[in-house]
């Protein structure tokens, strides 16, 4: 099946094959969301699992990410066509010192399907940058990711900066990434930790309206 081919191409870091198979899947009539979930995300999940178990190294993860992005370039325009819109606003980014956008890209694609407005700050985002955008945009949710143990500590710095500026109240902070877990999220004062993009989307779909109402009071 074409989805298995996409998964294999991402796991082996073959960007051209990922692009061709994604194009093939869309041409066969599969929805952009199904290609994203059953092909691109499933492929990246396989790589992430190996990374957590130290069976692959960062260079291999980056090759897989490049292959995933090749497929995403075709899927993203289709997802943007969704007419489901909300007034929810989400700021997301990978913390300073971390140049990996693997999980961030997957979460962005999944959250996009909920209709929320997404402000993606990209990679290597400093605590001051996060805080500046939160103060200006007044989002309902802030999402931070980190792939490395050496950068995950910056998440606490971001939360401290938000507290310092008095803009932490009524802001839901979600963290994620390979080295992060629920215990660490609780320790640094984050509200939620999610293991994968599917959990994030489910939370957004179920809770964003409640979060909007709470913040508007």
> What is the token pair recorded at 142?
């802030």
Alpha carbon dihedral 19, 20, 25, 28, in 10-degree steps, equals: 140
More reliable by pLDDT, 13 or 216:
13
Q: Write phi, then psi, for 156 (nearest 5 degrees).
A: -65, -40
Matching residue, tokens 């009524």: 170
* CA–CA distances in Å: residue 99 to residues 27, 93, 208: 33, 10, 28
> What is the token pair recorded at 14?
């073959």
pLDDT in tens, 169-190: 989 999 998 889 999 999 999 9
Using a 10 angstrom Cβ sphere, with 0-12 exposed, 13-18 middle and 19 or more buried, the burial of residue 104 is: buried
3-state secondary structure of 116: coil
What's the confidence (pLDDT) of residue 83?
Answer: 54
More reliable by pLDDT, 215 or 53:
53
Matching residue, tokens 């660490």: 184
pLDDT band at 216 (very low <50, low <70, confident <90, very high): low
What's the confidence (pLDDT) of residue 217?
Answer: 61
pLDDT in tens, 41-73: 889 888 877 877 778 887 888 898 889 989 989
What's the confidence (pLDDT) of residue 181?
Answer: 94
- Which domains are seen in the chain, by residue range? 2-79 (1.10.1240.10), 89-216 (3.40.50.280)
Alpha carbon dihedral 20, 53, 110, 73, in 10-degree steps, equals: -30
> What is the token pair recorded at 87?
């007034």
SS (H, E, C) 124-153: CECHHHHHHHHHHHCCCEEEEECCCCCCCC
Alpha carbon dihedral 165, 171, 177, 181, in 10-degree steps, equals: 100
pLDDT in tens, 126-156: 999 999 999 999 999 999 999 889 999 999 9
Taking the model in full, what pTM does it have?
0.77
What's the confidence (pLDDT) of residue 25?
Answer: 97
What's the confidence (pLDDT) of residue 53?
Answer: 78
Per-residue pLDDT averaged across 151-168, rounded?
A: 97
């Amino acid at each position: 099946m074409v989805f298995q081919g996409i998964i294999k191409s991402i796991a082996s870091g073959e960007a051209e094959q990922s692009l061709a198979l994604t194009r093939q899947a869309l041409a066969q009539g599969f929805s952009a969301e199904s290609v994203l979930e059953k092909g691109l995300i499933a492929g990246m999940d396989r790589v992430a699992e190996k990374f957590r178990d130290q069976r692959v190294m960062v260079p291999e993860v980056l090759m897989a990410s490049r292959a995933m992005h090749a497929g995403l370039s075709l899927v993203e325009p289709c997802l943007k066509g969704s007419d489901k819109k909300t007034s929810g606003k989400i700021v997301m980014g990978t913390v300073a010192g971390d140049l990996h956008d693997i999980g961030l890209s997957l979460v962005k694609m999944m959250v996009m399907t909920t209709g929320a407005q997404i402000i993606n700050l990209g990679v290597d985002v400093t605590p001051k940058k996060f805080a500046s955008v939160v103060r200006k945009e007044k989002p309902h949710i802030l999402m931070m990711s980190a792939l490395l143990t050496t950068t995950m500590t910056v998440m606490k710095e971001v939360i401290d900066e938000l507290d310092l500026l008095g803009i932490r109240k009524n802001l839901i902070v979600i963290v994620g990434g390979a080295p992060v877990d629920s215990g660490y999220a609780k320790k640094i004062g984050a509200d939620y930790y999610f293991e994968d993009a599917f959990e994030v989307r489910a939370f957004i779909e179920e809770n964003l309206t409640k979060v909007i109402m709470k913040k508007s009071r």
